Amino acid sequence: MTTTDNTQPPRISASRRAGLAFVASALAVGFAGLAATPVLAQGFPNRQITLVVPFAAGGPSDVIGRLVAEHMSRTLGQQVIVENVAGAGGTTGAARVASAPADGHTVLIHHLALKAAPALYNNLRYDTATAFEPLGMINTGPMVITGKLDLAPKTAAEFFAHAKAQGDKLTMAHAGVGSNSHLCIILMGQAVGSKPTQVAYRGTGPAMNDLVGGQVDALCDQSTTAVPQVQGGKIRAYAVTSTERLDVIKDVPTTREAGTPIDMTIWHGLYAPKGTLAEAVTRLSTALQAAMKDDGINARFASFGTTAFPEAQRTPAAHKAAFDAEIAKWAKALKEAGVNPAAAN
């Protein structure tokens, strides 16, 4: 008969001890493994977040990115710091985020240049269609065709005639092949029959400095950074690429009114690397939504002639649908314009 002495721990056979040792070591590995995945264990975010702006400081993507980053920092309780990773029309910054860990601590602000790039670059280091997790759309607005103050044309019609007559004697700045400012030159060239000499910068921030300084003749820039310079009398605005005039520069006609229709509306979205943890996607998208509801941010947007997307269009699902549609749209437009892919830098 087996009696159980409750005062002593039960005697354990050698084989049972070996089995328990195995279980103990497996548990130890498991807990160690959990500690190695801080995002799961500590929740998101658990350290500062990097928001990559794929153009130089001072340009419109940088301005919008910093406004959004500052507000998201407050909502997320972690610093969202902006890092400018410029080059190759915004594809260098996109590649940086595409290859970042999918833990939500690296995100990208970008616009139609991200979607146009596959039609313009032969060897992108990422697959545009699958490399990113759309987090939500930010703002939308037109481009403004501008010139240095001492450029001869004074009106839109005079500028377009000048561009056609001058050909490659006219210099136009842009932020790299595939950037909004570059695509605007392509569309203008198609509408006017002009081929200006293109001068590439790492963003329209530095390009605008040269336009104000008179080192380059013209620039088609987002309203976000063009409007303040026009209002300050530093450059001349010829036309806006929206179908309606902008309240903030009311005397500037649309390209349609000027008889040379160039329709171009840009929008920024926020992206994470594909496969980013669902908890992080939700937290980031919610923080972006909060920023887009902020009165201060919307007042700044209005002063730039740009607006936040309506709430229903700011969801990741709506963003994904718009993203996919734009890739197809720009591939077709650029093919029709006879623009061939260049080798990515």
- Site for ligand MLT, rule CB under 6 A: 55-56, 59-61, 113, 175, 179-181, 203-205
- Which residue, 107 or 175, has its beta carbon nearer to ligand MLT? 175
Closest approach, Cβ 54 to ligand MLT, in A, equals 8
- Residue-level length of the chain: 345
What are the residues whose beta carbons fall under 8 Å from the beta carbon of 127, sequence distance 6 or more?
none
Q: Min. distance of Cβ 164 from ligand MLT in angstroms?
A: 23
Instruction: Supply the minimum distance, in Å, between the C-beta of residue 66 and ligand MLT.
Output: 12
Q: Closest distance between ligand MLT and the C-beta of residue 83, in Å?
A: 14
CB of 300 to ligand MLT, least distance (A): 16
39 vs 240 by CB, closer to ligand MLT: 240
Which residue's C-beta sits nearest to ligand MLT?
59
Q: In the complex with ligand MLT, which residue's Cβ is closer, 109 or 246?
A: 109
Tokens coding 6: 């409750």
* C-beta closer to ligand MLT: residue 76 or 184: 184
Q: Which is nearer to ligand MLT, 280 or 339 (CB)?
A: 339
